[in-house]
């Protein structure tokens, strides 16, 4: 947590409501995201109880498992979820555009958009990953050797959920989002990070109802109960309220188990549907309320670029599914794991840089940590490089209140609005106080971005009086050297084994393999 974010939390406590932690929205929001609110059964790890799902705010689809211990009912629930999700996925899979050829890529088909899934919190996101892992290898009725076949679309649902959950681990991805994480990125509250995972309490801080401040609205969402003892704001899932489980749900499940005739069972199931729906509907409404708050923020300049990377990821998985490739393995080998780790590290560095360039508040945090500085140009000294073809190397003298943590000669990058790349520079000296206790003077030498002639391109060199911002981090960080192909990787690092014919050890069976 940065110093600036800590200060924002303190201000939220003093003000009695959340304060902005960003001036722009750093995440893409689709026009019609698929909102998923799951609930699981207490005491039965991963067993689904119900869910609200859909892209229409006014018409969600309610899926309920009237007896979570019944395996057929459980996979009937997953089949219903597959029906809702796969149909939405297919709409995006078939809507494509053509990306023109480049030096490194042939003309390629790219999905014009991708389905965005939004869940309430990090626990629900983890449940999506668990469902994907537990269903993508199941056998269906199309397999004659399957002892306990599941509905046909369930394994395909698992493959897509696994892809979305894996993509969610890439910093900056917007395919699968936890709403609480989105809200806490854009607002700072006066409660702990753990309390911020309660969607109702978080919204209470950000947008308290009339007559209440943030702490009172959050306390009401966390502890307020109806006369019959149920929470006014049920948990956003996937866990349920113990009071609801014991007082209301358990008797309803018992009535379903005792039903012997079809009318009795239908009545008991309808009662369970009403109960589960009553727990899910408040969270469903909170989800759309939170999305409305986020939509009110202007989108950051680099958000569309990150969303295009998500569209490439979506298109790639669509192609693998249609090509009949097998499901994702339970466990990555050493090579795949190294590739994923390298990609995520690069994505994290790129996200941090882009957020700082898009958002003055994010840039202020980097300035406080000595990774950037903003100041006013007071003098420009024209110099040129040595050699057969002298190139302009102007030295800027800048006054600033910031103090960059770097030695002379360190690389710096000038932030330019609407520019594809940063202007290269380097620190030309140590900071010198302009006046005692006042701003400091910095000398910065520009090393690029001025054209190829002896005279700098017009507008490429700031004039005295201009305000400039330089960073010590790259604006478009690249990944390191390419990893070798599997055939060239030593066996000690996951490459071909030293002796052929040695069977690989089977993956261990874990609790995640059963729902």
Give the separation between CA 314 and CA 324, rounded to whole angstroms: 16
Report whether the peptide linkage leading into residue 33 is cis, meaning its omega lies within 30 degrees of zero: no
Tell me the sheet residues that pair with 414. 423, 470
The pair of three-digit structure tokens given for residue 170, joined into one six-digit string: 């890439």
Give the separation between CA 502 and CA 510, rounded to whole angstroms: 24
Give the separation between CA 49 and CA 74, rounded to whole angstroms: 8
Contact 34, 118 (CB under 8 A): yes
What pLDDT score does 437 carry? 65
Q: Residue 127: which residues within 8 A CB-CB, separation 6 or more?
A: 38, 40, 46, 119, 237, 238
Per-residue pLDDT tens over the stretch 41-62: 988 878 999 999 999 999 999 9
What pLDDT score does 501 carry? 43
CA atoms within 13 A on the CB side of 450: 23
Per-residue pLDDT tens over the stretch 109-168: 999 999 999 999 999 999 999 999 999 998 887 777 777 788 889 999 999 999 999 999
Give the separation between CA 85 and CA 100, rounded to whole angstroms: 30
What pLDDT score does 331 carry? 86
Which of 461, 386, 377, 385 lies closest to 416 in space, CA to CA?
461
This prediction has a pTM of 0.91
**Number of helices and strands (H, E) in the chain?**
13, 16
Residue 490 backbone phi and psi in degrees, to 5: -60, 150
Give the separation between CA 78 and CA 412, rounded to whole angstroms: 52
Give the separation between CA 272 and CA 65, rounded to whole angstroms: 9
Give the separation between CA 402 and CA 400, rounded to whole angstroms: 5
List the pLDDT tens digit at each of the 515 positions of the chain: 688 889 999 999 999 999 999 999 999 999 999 999 999 998 887 899 999 999 999 999 999 999 998 889 999 999 999 999 999 999 999 999 998 888 877 888 999 999 999 999 999 999 999 999 999 998 887 777 777 788 889 999 999 999 999 999 999 999 999 999 999 999 999 999 999 999 999 999 999 999 999 999 999 999 999 888 899 899 887 999 999 999 999 999 999 999 889 999 999 999 999 999 999 999 999 999 999 999 999 999 999 999 999 999 999 999 999 999 999 998 888 888 888 999 999 999 999 999 999 999 999 999 999 999 999 999 999 998 887 888 899 999 999 999 899 899 999 999 988 767 889 999 998 888 766 667 899 999 999 888 888 888 888 899 999 999 999 999 988 877 777 777 777 777 767 765 444 455 666 666 666 56
């Amino acid at each position: 947590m940065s110093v600036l974010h800590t200060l924002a939390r303190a201000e939220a406590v003093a003000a009695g409501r959340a304060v902005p932690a960003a001036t722009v929205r750093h995440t893409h929001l689709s026009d019609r995201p698929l909102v998923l609110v799951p609930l699981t059964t207490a005491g039965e790890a991963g067993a689904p109880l119900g869910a609200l799902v859909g892209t229409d705010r006014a018409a969600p689809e309610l899926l309920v498992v009237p007896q979570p211990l019944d395996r057929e009912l459980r996979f009937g629930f997953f089949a219903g979820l597959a029906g809702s999700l796969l149909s939405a996925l297919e709409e995006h899979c078939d809507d494509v555009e053509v990306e023109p050829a480049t030096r490194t890529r042939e003309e390629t088909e790219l999905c014009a958009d991708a389905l965005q899934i939004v869940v309430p919190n990090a626990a629900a996101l983890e449940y999506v990953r668990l469902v994907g892992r537990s269903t993508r290898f199941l056998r269906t009725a199309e397999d004659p050797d399957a002892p306990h076949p599941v509905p046909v679309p369930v394994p395909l649902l698992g493959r897509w959920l696994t892809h979305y959950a894996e993509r969610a681990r890439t910093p900056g991805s917007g395919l699968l989002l936890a709403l609480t994480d989105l809200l806490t990125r854009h607002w700072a509250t006066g409660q702990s990070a753990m309390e911020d995972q309660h969607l109702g309490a978080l919204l209470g801080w950000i947008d308290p109802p009339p007559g209440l401040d943030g702490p009172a609205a959050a306390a009401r969402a966390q502890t307020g109960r109806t006369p019959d003892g149920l929470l006014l704001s049920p948990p956003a899932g996937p866990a349920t309220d113990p009071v609801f489980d014991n007082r209301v749900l358990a008797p309803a499940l018992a009535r379903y188990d005792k039903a012997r005739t079809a009318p009795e069972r239908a009545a008991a199931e309808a009662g369970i549907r009403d109960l589960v729906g009553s727990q899910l509907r408040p969270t469903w409404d909170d989800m759309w309320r939170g999305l409305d708050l986020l939509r009110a923020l202007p989108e950051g300049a680099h958000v569309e670029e990150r969303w295009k990377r998500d569209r490439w990821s979506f298109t790639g998985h669509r192609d693998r599914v249609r090509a009949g490739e097998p499901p994702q393995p339970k466990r990555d080998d050493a090579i795949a794991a190294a590739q994923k780790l390298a990609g995520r590290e690069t994505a994290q560095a790129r996200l941090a840089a882009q957020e700082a360039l898009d958002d003055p508040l994010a840039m202020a945090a980097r300035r406080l940590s000595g990774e950037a500085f903003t100041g006013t140009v007071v003098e420009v000294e024209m110099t040129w490089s040595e050699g057969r073809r002298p190139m302009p190397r102007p030295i800027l003298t800048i006054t600033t209140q910031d103090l960059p943590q770097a030695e002379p000669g360190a690389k710096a990058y000038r932030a330019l609005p609407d520019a594809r790349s940063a202007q290269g520079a380097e620190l030309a000296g140590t900071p010198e106080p302009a006046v005692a206790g006042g701003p400091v003077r910095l000398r910065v030498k520009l090393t690029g971005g001025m054209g190829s002639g002896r005279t700098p391109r017009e507008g490429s060199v700031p004039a005295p009086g201009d305000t400039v911002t330089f960073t010590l981090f790259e604006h478009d960080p690249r990944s390191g050297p390419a990893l070798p192909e599997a055939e060239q990787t030593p066996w000690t690092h996951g490459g071909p084994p030293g002796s052929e014919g040695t069977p690989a050890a089977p993956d261990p069976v874990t609790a995640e393999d059963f729902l």
